[in-house]
Amino acid sequence: MVTPDDRSNRLYKTPRLDQAGGNSLAPQSRCCCHVAVMAMCLLDGIQLAALGLVSSIVLYGLLGIVGVIVAFLVFFLAVARFENQRLVGHFEPVTAPWPHTPSSYWLKTRERAAGIGLQPDGDLATIKSHRKVRGLLSLFYTEDRLVLASIVSSTSAIGSAKRTMLRSKLSNGGLLESTDCPGLNDLTGVTKHVVLLNAGIEELLRFHRHQVQATGLEALPFTGPAREENDHLAHARGGRLVMLKLARWTNPQETSLRFTWRGAWVHLTGMFSEIGKLQAQQHRTHVRRAG
């Protein structure tokens, strides 16, 4: 007969150890532990896989971005290297009606130039055989002939270009060029190229004269017709590029050239330098251009 004390002893008696020294309930406990460990391992594996996936996505994304940048640089370098640049001989004198459709920028800037006292000295258009680029060029002098103004509007397969350039010859043999739009710098360093983003011709002329004064040098007058002076400046720039082995002439007449690989690289790095300089003029991006 089982007494209450016996039942109490059975309920609260310390479990018997098995032969291996473990608890008599150990098989069930070990099963539960194994399930918990497997679950933890599974969770750890999922977390590691997720981290690995995210890391792979980030890595491949960065590699993709780097690849795009490298491809752009290689493409631009190749274009700069093999593009044939015609320096002189690709414009001819024209009068209205214009052979190419003029942009409102060209018409309005040309009108404003005459309105502030600049003296017109010829209108030019790209020759018919020059099919890659079609454009109009209007040339002006200031009354003292210390500034040569070039108003350009052109279109090509890759887009359009609108630019006003003011140039002055300096007493040290250099050239100062002010423009309202970033463009091709003189890689030889003879020309000082400055930009006043989106400036109208009145503002640009004031800016240019201030830049001339800041050099501390005397501006020399242009003596020949504007077209001849414009061609002479372009050809002289080409000659300096060839002399420094940054470019090579592509014809015996020495009217067009191509960059060497070194010249193309210098041009590419110069372009990024020009973009960096324009960061200080971001506030002028809202300024509306003529036309």
pTM (two decimals): 0.74
Higher pLDDT: 80 or 145? It is 145
To the nearest whole number, what is the mean pLDDT of the chain? Answer: 83
**Exposed/middle/buried for residue 91 (C-beta within 10 Å: 0-12, 13-18, 19+):** buried
At residue 278, does pLDDT exceed 60?
Answer: yes
pLDDT for the residue 280:
86
* Residue 81 covered by a domain: no
Domain of residue 236: give its range: 87-284
* Residue 237 covered by a domain: yes
* Residue 19 covered by a domain: no
pLDDT for the residue 25:
46
| Residues 6+ away with beta carbon under 8 Å from 59 | none
* Residue 22 covered by a domain: no
At residue 236, does pLDDT exceed 70?
Answer: yes
* Residue 117 covered by a domain: yes
* Residue 41 covered by a domain: no
* Residue 21 covered by a domain: no
At residue 1, does pLDDT exceed 80?
Answer: no
- Number of separate domains in the chain: 1
pLDDT for the residue 83:
84
* Residue 235 covered by a domain: yes
At residue 5, does pLDDT exceed 60?
Answer: no
pLDDT for the residue 147:
98
Q: Are residues 161 and 151 in contact, defined by beta-carbon separation less than 8 angstroms?
A: no
- Mean pLDDT is lowest, of 70-74, 140-144, 254-258, for 70-74
Q: What is the pLDDT of residues 179-212, one digit of tens each?
A: 998 876 778 888 999 999 999 999 999 999 999 9
- Cα gap 46→44, rounded to integer Å: 5
